[in-house]
Structure 1
Amino acid sequence: MQDYFSESYYYLENYGLPYLKGLGFGHGGEHYFWDNKKRKDHLIVLQYTLAGTGYFEMEGQRTIQRKNSFFLAEIPSDCCYYGEKDWRFLYFEFSKEALQWFFPINQTHLDSSSRFQELLLTIHDQLKGQTDVDFFENSQLAYSLIVALKKELLTVRVEKYPLAKEIKDYLEQQYQKEIGLMDIEEHLELSRYKAIRLFEKAYTVSPMAYLKKYRIKRALPFLLDNQRTIHEIAKLVGMSNGNYFAKVFKAEMGMSPSDYQKSRHNFK
């Protein structure tokens, strides 16, 4: 990790797929300062701190970057980053096609898992010194990193809001009953407004929206065995009747329960 380098990749065609435009090791210092408002290229930077002290600023707030922390930055955008001479980091540059998977883009996280760091180092080792990487190999690596990053961000969010995980566990344990926000209030001694706010911060959906999705998931095996009526299945997953179940199912799956059964049985 003592060799500082950068690799960049350019392709005549990207087929609408995300790929890595560059990666490298770097360090801070007197002349290291990126003001992303002034940059002309369009990409996303993932910068992971290996040692020392760096800084990431957005919306007037500065976050200190130390070992195992990382940030995501959209370029161009209203943020900047810089660091001390001892700041050592690994960075990856995604093409703009990766934007759809990250919202908000500009964000920072103070502690990451060893698994995530190992993946970053593995991809770095795989690409270091290769200036002519096949596009589809590059895109596959970009996808693997995007998936790992999404998982890491979700893990960070859930760990930040442990009560949200308790709400999720409660919903999954009680999904066969007709439960609502009042039940969450009583079980966790938490106001419904705080419950909704915490859950949305951790899982990006409301508790009741998550419960609907979970009930549909648990209903799928019953639909496939074709041994029960829609009304019976609705009752098994905590819904009041077959009509309501069918309405929720179509909103979630884009087809009616009967159409889903037909589509799946056609493949048998």
Structure 2
Amino acid sequence: MSQDFKHSFKASQRPTLSLMVYNVGFQKCPPDYGWGPGVRDHFLLHYIVSGHGTYESGGRTFVLGPGDAFLARPDTPIYYRADPTDPWEYYWVGFSGPSAALLLAQTPFSPGRPVLHSAAGDRLRRALLDIYKARGADYPSAVRMAGYLQAALGLLMEDAPARGTDALADYARRGAAFIQQNYSRDISVEAVAAHVGVSRSYLHRAFHAVFGCAPGAYLTDYRLDRAIQLLRHSTLSVGAVAASAGFSDPFYFSRLFRRRMGMSPSDYRQEKP
């Protein structure tokens, strides 16, 4: 049996980018090595190059082997464990950011499909290794890692069905793109649905199928992500930050911000790294 090993990198700071790598690495697991049950606060992708193991998500258990990939979504309970006799070796990357869910929506992954067998093969392994090789604590390294992550996600997109075969995914992607382009304006879910050309209820169904949340929640989260960037990188007042991110009521913004971050916008600005 080959010797166990683990090589990993964890970002000490989380830079404000549209796509951010939180951690990356590769590991040959010892028998029965596992993680969980637990939840992550970011997306976590694993790609298996040898051996076997099991992945539990959404009340289902998947037995996986070489060429398989599995995805954990934020705040979703998961558990994974290496086989006791043929433990797996895998490469992984943890990531988040406003563009993460939109990019993943163009792959075969969905809230109801957390695993897939990738046709990219060793190209995907090398793409994940490139992220690890670009590791670093400074901002340029974060940008390079994000670029290699996009390349890896692009390989997974090759496994997706041809455009037009999945209407729900197409409507969700178009709705999310409209939100990202117009979040600072006074837009509503009805406006998003009208732009996409579907009913509000159908848009709701599409967003849940692809992003695991309602379009209103997606809009609010995206606005909060933008507000966090402004608090970190601008000298705008809290009220101006709220307005710039699309919140017409600064008190409502502060309440949502405290619920997300556990502190007020002013306190966050003072404590930001």
Post-superposition offset of 1:98? 5.2
Amino acid at match of 1:60: G
Q: Give the distance between the partners of 1:126 and 1:136, measured in 2 at CA.
A: 9
Amino acid at match of 2:160: R
- The answer for the alignment partner of 1:146 in structure 2 is 150
Q: Give the distance between the partners of 2:77 and 2:128, measured in 1 at CA.
A: 26
Write the mapping of 1:211-222 to structure 2, written as runs, cut at 5 A: none
- The answer for the alignment partner of 2:54 in structure 1 is 55
- The answer for the alignment partner of 1:9 in structure 2 is 11
Alignment CA distance shift 1:148-1:90 (3 Å) = closer
Write the mapping of 1:12-31 to structure 2, written as runs, cut at 5 A: 14-31=15-32
Superposition CA RMSD, Å:
3.3
Q: Give the distance between the partners of 1:110 and 1:45, measured in 2 at CA.
A: 16
- The answer for the alignment partner of 2:80 in structure 1 is 81
Structure 1 residue runs of 5 or longer lacking an equivalent are: 159-163, 169-197, 210-249, 253-268
Alignment CA distance shift 1:23-1:107 (3 Å) = same
Post-superposition offset of 1:147? 4.8
For the pair 1:66 / 2:65, whether they are aligned, the reply is: yes
Question: Which of 192, 204, 219 is 2:170 aligned to?
Answer: 204
Alignment CA distance shift 1:205-1:155 (3 Å) = farther
1:21 partner SS: strand
Greater CA radius of gyration, 1 or 2?
1
TM score, norm. by length of structure 2: 0.50
Q: Decide whether the 8 Å contact of 1:17 with 1:139 is kept in 2.
A: no
Q: Give the distance between the partners of 2:134 and 2:140, measured in 1 at CA.
A: 14
Write the mapping of 1:99-138 to structure 2, written as runs, cut at 5 A: 99-101=100-102, 102-103=104-105, 104=110, 107-114=114-121, 115-127=123-135, 132-138=136-142
Q: Decide whether the 8 Å contact of 2:134 with 2:145 is kept in 1.
A: no
Q: Which range moved further: 24-33 or 84-93? A: 24-33
Post-superposition offset of 1:30? 4.7
Greater share of residues in helix: 1
2:6 partner SS: coil
Q: Give the distance between the partners of 1:120 and 1:17, measured in 2 at CA.
A: 19
Structure 2 residue runs of 5 or longer lacking an equivalent are: 175-193, 197-273
Q: Give the distance between the partners of 1:139 and 1:96, measured in 2 at CA.
A: 12
Identity across matched positions, percent: 18
Alignment size in residue pairs: 165
